[in-house]
Chains A and B, each alone.
Chain A
């Protein structure tokens, strides 16, 4: 940039100098950043003695935030590409149930059950996209249909096969499996043991696990969230494909005329959303050891809210994965923080509504500055 400015003979005299601070702040993630600071300030002031910020508390809201992040990454890239997926929640329930049926009912090795479920769910995501592209219907309607279809199967199949709506026994089935720990395991256990021995984090003071740290590692769920956020951010901002995602959502017709394979981009983003939902589902099933017919209810809206708090434009073409990750963090911290603070859980909704409104107003203001939208 500076190199270019140097050999420009006459700089544009009609441009006011913008202070570096203002320039650094004017970015799509600003709403999410302000929201994050506000939320942490709030809870540090009002709930610091509730245990929310000791190792266990941090782990607690980190896990919830990571769950939101995993599905927010898919929802964010899909929204920037100009589409919605309302079937994410049902997909989470469906994916979990399929793993349970494959591994417990049919007795397949867990890794085969997981991989088969991934293939199946990504194919359903692709089908969602294919129908949207082929019919030209709004993705809102198409994926709403899949919200019902997938949820219906998720309730019907276990009742048909096992005569119940929850299938357990997955922990036993996953014993010794090589793939299951990638979703349900923990990392850095020795580090946490060392931290516990060094007295830096709390340890159990009695019982059979006395001396062991209460938090004994970082769950793979959090690792997945971080990896997906980083990969999603790099894909969107640093690659050719990222440019296509923006273009497909900004104006599909213009993008097509410029040679962007819009249909391919959109279908791939539907598949990515399904992939993220399945990652969520596998982590959840491995943690609980069971699959339930009501898992993932309303998750699609939570993902969309996180994405919008993060600065994405509902109509596509604009947004940020980092912003969406901050949105997910806000969501997780608020939900668990109010729980720690002992506040009535219904107030969670009030608080969330206010944050949503505030962040979106700020985001809209910033977006207008950046894009010249009127």
Chain B
């Protein structure tokens, strides 16, 4: 991260209430181009809710979002996507009944013109889908295979490949590696590293401290809807991070018998 850079997204005092549930109680985070910003925290801490306000799924109850320095009010995810923000949601946003390439380009369909008419360019979509999936280490049987026939990890890879393909400025990944095998996880971490070097901002949610330490430049820990602060890489040890993620509470004593591998 370059300190003279200005942040691409500034989230200022974001609050989000669902009826009587306060999912976010004033969270401020800046995301810079070219950094991998890790978002950590326990289950229910509000991580997914937070990135959903970033990607236009939720409107914040209070607080402001500045995108490239100007206030931004995303009416729906479409606005965020056109602004260059692509998201892999925890629940993937894939449609099992549709083919891989139709899913890949859902909402961003490539078109070719035939006279005054515009048609979905299936050849281009199929080609790109196969290429992008191969880059992620997955050999698809065919681009017209339905997503419903893929394994959980393969689905996750399609979602990630799609976001990488369309995330022109910001790439948000909500637990992208939760279902992935060793090789695919390594691929995803390498991909994060690669796009970060291209100057794209990455927001990476994970429960795995080692994954976070592997690619993260800064770490923000959420706990019960509040930030416990943001730390620079090198200023914090994995153990400290682990403790913060657990909300400062002692981990159950089983840890010893697990050999400290959590």
Contact = CB atoms under 8 A, between A and B. Distances in A.
B57 A373 contact: no
A370 B130 CA distance: 19
Contacts of A254: 91-95
Contacts of A136: none
B102 A246 contact: yes
Interface size range of chain B in the complex: 35 or more
A220 interface: no
A238 B97 CA distance: 17
Contacts of A260: 78, 106-107
A247 B106 contact: yes
B148 A246 contact: no
B1 interface: no
Contacts of B149: 371-372
B109 interface: yes
B183 interface: no
Interface in A6-32: 8, 10-12, 15
A238 B126 CA distance: 13
A364 to B, nearest CB: 13
B107 A259 contact: yes
A253 B93 CA distance: 7
Contacts of B150: 372
Interface string B115-141: 000111010001100110010000101
B66 interface: no
A12 B111 CA distance: 30
B106 A243 contact: yes
Contacts of A11: 139
A238 B146 contact: no
Interface string A178-204: 000000000000000000000000000
Contacts of B139: 8, 10-12
A313 B98 CA distance: 13
A373 B98 CA distance: 11
A15 B139 CA distance: 11
B81 interface: yes
Interface size range of chain A in the complex: 20 to 34
A255 B106 contact: yes
A259 B166 CA distance: 12
B177 interface: no
Contacts of B143: 1, 4
Contacts of A238: 119-120, 122
Given A240-B118, A255-B106, A258-B107, A1 B95 contact: no
Contact of A250 (B78, B95, B127): B95
A12 B186 CA distance: 21
Contacts of B109: 240, 243
A121 to B, nearest CB: 27
A255 B95 contact: yes
Contact of B77 (A8, A242, A257, A372): A257
A260 B81 CA distance: 10
Contacts of A1: 126, 142-143
Given A1-B126, A12-B139, A371-B96, A239 B120 contact: yes
Contacts of B108: 258-259
A260 B157 CA distance: 21
A3 interface: yes
Contact of B78 (A3, A259, A313, A370): A259
A243 B97 contact: no
30 contacts: A1-B126, A1-B142, A4-B126, A4-B143, A8-B134, A8-B139, A15-B141, A238-B122, A239-B119, A239-B120, A240-B109, A240-B111, A240-B118, A243-B102, A243-B105, A243-B106, A246-B98, A247-B102, A250-B95, A251-B96, A254-B94, A255-B106, A256-B77, A257-B57, A259-B81, A260-B78, A261-B76, A371-B146, A372-B150, A373-B97
Top 10 closest A-B pairs, CB basis?
A372-B149, A259-B107, A250-B95, A240-B109, A372-B148, A254-B93, A259-B78, A258-B107, A257-B93, A371-B146
